[in-house]
Structure 1
Amino acid sequence: MRKKQLINKITLYVVLILLSFLFLFPLVWMLVSSLKNEFQIFRDMTSLKAFLPPAPNETEGGYFQNYIAAFQRVDLLRYIMNSLIYTLGIIVFGLLVNSMAGYALARFRFPLAGFWMGVIIATLIVPPESIFLPLYVLVYDLGWVNTYTGLIVPFIANAFAIFLFRQFFLDFPKELEEAAKIDGCSQFGIFWRMIVPLSKPVFATVAIVLFINHWNDFLWPLVVASDESIRTIQIGLQYFMNDPPIQWGQVMAALTVATVPMLIIFTFLQRYYVQGLTHTGSKN
């Protein structure tokens, strides 16, 4: 029995390692290609050299020549800062608003609470593109076009985030809240001083989901941010494709720069992310 379990565990790990390499191949190829010139990229395309960096004597301007050229060609730093402001603004305000909404739906008793939760969940099946036109008209009437406010405010409330918070708070022990009420703590004090510090996994989960979703946003920033001063990195990447000649080494360098923030966020928060997905909807 132990031998069989050991064989099953080894097989599982081998399969997981192979799958991890499969998913990492595009990232590795992108990173390695960003260190090569045009000739080297297409020369190595059909061999394993596509996943190996060039030799030092094959690089004329150094390994980072494409990165330097990409930043000189387009104001990538401005686009990255705009994306950070846009994404972090949604995360900060989204965590506050959605967590309070989820807590209210999990703990408060009010008429049609189940109905409103159903309405919130039902909005998940509505394609975002279907509401962009009326949403743009509203933002235009408010004078928020070409502003960070117009980029951020429409996406602060998030149905999936509210659902995750509600499910997590439903499993939170009520005895702790009742003890805090006996000690004279207000409802908001219970939420801010007790619930929030003990809910790091679900906050990290929602933060990662929001970051990935909105860091990769293209259509809404394209519609609302016509002014170059607030364009995001995903819009900026189009310059490399629409402004000939296309330099694929620079394209790969710009894509790598755009991918790094997501990798950093997920690397530092992955432990809480896994805990949040594991605990949401299950009894603690």
Structure 2
Amino acid sequence: MALVTSDNRGLRLAARYATLILVALIFLFPLVFMVVSSLKPDQQLLADTSSIRAFLPVGDISLDNYYKAFDRAPIGLFMMNSVGITIVTVVLSILLCSLAAFSFVFLDWSGRGVLLSVIVATLIIPFETIAVPLLLFVSKLPWIGWEGLEFGWLNTYRVQVIPWIVDALTIFLFVQFFKDLPRELIEAARVEGASWFTVYRRIVMPLSGPVLATAAILKSLKMYNEQYLWPLIVVQDEAHRPVMVGLGYFFQLQIAWGEVMAYLTLISVPVIAFYLVMQRAFISSIASTGVKG
């Protein structure tokens, strides 16, 4: 009887792994197609799409599409812009949103529940409904720069960062995590004379590894992948454009699909690398976070 049970468990485990592998392959097919297509000339690429050869690096394979892509658009500049905008936005977002969530959870002030509900309700508002009012607003905002007071934020990095620093989802994630932290630690620190900022810096944030990694992953992917519509509206000069706007360079005049695939492969590298790094950090933070008695 024990052997039968063991065999059944083995079959169920094998079926589970087979299902997971199949699902993983389904998700990998677009990436494989993109990378393989970036190595083929346009004529072969289009001819192979009707067969399994579209997923195989066969035929006339070369890196010519990558060389041509760099010649057509300043890919390095676009990638540095996107990565820089994403990093700055994520760092400031985690700092300000965690502070806001800390005040909602641990500080006692009137109206915090109503205000939090209003903030969470903004999640249902699509960006397209606020794009034009936001454009009119930032086009008249003052800014003190190296050359003194100036008006208008168009064609700058700050217009791509500041409007997206604080968002409802990040605040909500921190609020939900902070609610589960042991209140005894907070009360003990306050009895010992620690200020609220000391509690935030020395107690709450060191215990917030999982939510920090989760918020960083979600915010980074959102910022990097959605840098198209808003930058397309507010940025006209090439020096401040992110990678998503740069994709338009490859659809001018005659479309070169091999170069498009090469460009998409290049701009996907930072996303995949960041996700793999943060995934390990997320797992490590879960394993190391806890309260020792």
What is the 5 A alignment of 1:25-36? 25-36=29-40
What is the 5 A alignment of 1:107-256? 107-142=106-141, 143-217=152-226, 218-241=228-251, 243-256=252-265
Q: Distance in 2 between matches of 1:240 and 1:128?
A: 26
Question: In structure 2, do the counterparts of structure 1 residues 257 and 161 end up closer, same or farther at CA, with 3 Å as the change threshold?
Answer: same
C-alpha contact (below 8 Å) 1:205/1:272 kept by paired residues: no
For 2:278, the equivalent position in structure 1 comes to 269
For 1:50, the equivalent position in structure 2 comes to 54
Q: Which runs of 5+ in 2 are unaligned?
A: 142-151, 287-293
TM-score relative to the length of structure 2: 0.87
Q: Distance in 2 between matches of 1:110 and 1:181?
A: 17
Q: Distance in 1 between matches of 2:171 and 2:96?
A: 9
Question: In structure 2, do the counterparts of structure 1 residues 168 and 268 end up closer, same or farther at CA, with 3 Å as the change threshold?
Answer: same
Residue identity opposite 1:54 in structure 2: V
Question: In structure 2, do the counterparts of structure 1 residues 106 and 5 end up closer, same or farther at CA, with 3 Å as the change threshold?
Answer: farther
Q: Distance in 2 between matches of 1:182 and 1:223?
A: 52
1:13 aligns with 2:17: yes
Residue identity opposite 2:64 in structure 1: Q
Residue identity opposite 1:204 in structure 2: A
RMSD: 1.8
C-alpha contact (below 8 Å) 2:48/2:54 kept by paired residues: yes
For 2:148, the equivalent position in structure 1 comes to none
Residues 165-209 of structure 1 show CA distances to partners (whole Å, capped at 9, x for unaligned) of: 000111111122223233332210111122222212111111111
Q: Which runs of 5+ in 1 are unaligned?
A: 278-284
SS at match of 1:157: coil
The number of equivalent residue pairs is 271
Q: Distance in 2 between matches of 1:41 and 1:257?
A: 18
C-alpha contact (below 8 Å) 1:202/1:276 kept by paired residues: no
Q: Distance in 1 between matches of 2:272 and 2:135?
A: 31
1:43 deviates by 2.5
Q: Distance in 1 between matches of 2:126 and 2:254?
A: 35
TM-score relative to the length of structure 1: 0.90
1:276 deviates by 8.6
C-alpha contact (below 8 Å) 1:147/1:230 kept by paired residues: yes
Q: Distance in 1 between matches of 2:9 and 2:114?
A: 47
